[in-house]
Amino acid sequence: MTHHPIRSRKLSTLLLGLTFVAVGATQACSSTSSTEAPPKAAAGAPDTQPDLEKTRSHLREHVKYPATRAEVLAACADTPEFTPAEKAWFSEHLPDGSYATADDVLRSLKL
């Protein structure tokens, strides 16, 4: 049996190319599914609007004004007063901006 180096090289290159395509497709599928955000319902409990009095008290006592959106959210995140669902609600409903008072935050939240 005669060995043909050119055919062997072409066959090796073809097999190597197919291997890369197969591995790339597998990685693309697995990375796509892990980076996509899960549907909101599957992410856990729905976001819950916090109690108005608890929110008002927290904003007046635990946030130093003037405060940015990030500072208000950080103050809420660092407290056990709110559940994770309530904290998520704050994050989704508080617009970007700077707030001079707790009442400004409450107005922006439409509470």
Regions in the chain scoring below 70 on pLDDT: 1-46
Tell me whether residue 12 is in a domain. Answer: no
Any domain includes 79 = yes
Q: Is 18 within the bounds of a domain?
A: no
Neighbours of 105 (CB within 10 A): 26
Do the domain assignments include residue 68? yes
61 domain residue, yes or no: yes
Residue 13 placed within a domain: no
Residue 10 pLDDT? 54
Short-list 77, 96, 99, CA closest to 88:
77
Q: Please report whether residue 75 resides in a domain.
A: yes
pLDDT digits (tens, 9 = 90+) for 72-101: 999 988 888 889 999 999 999 999 999 999
Number of domains in the chain: 1
Q: What pLDDT does residue 98 have? A: 96
Share above pLDDT 70 across residues of the chain, in percent, rounded to a whole number: 59
Q: What is the pTM of this model?
A: 0.57
- Residue 66 maps to a domain: yes
Q: Can you give the residue range of the structural domain that contains 72? A: 52-108
Nearest to 95 by CA among 86, 84, 104: 104
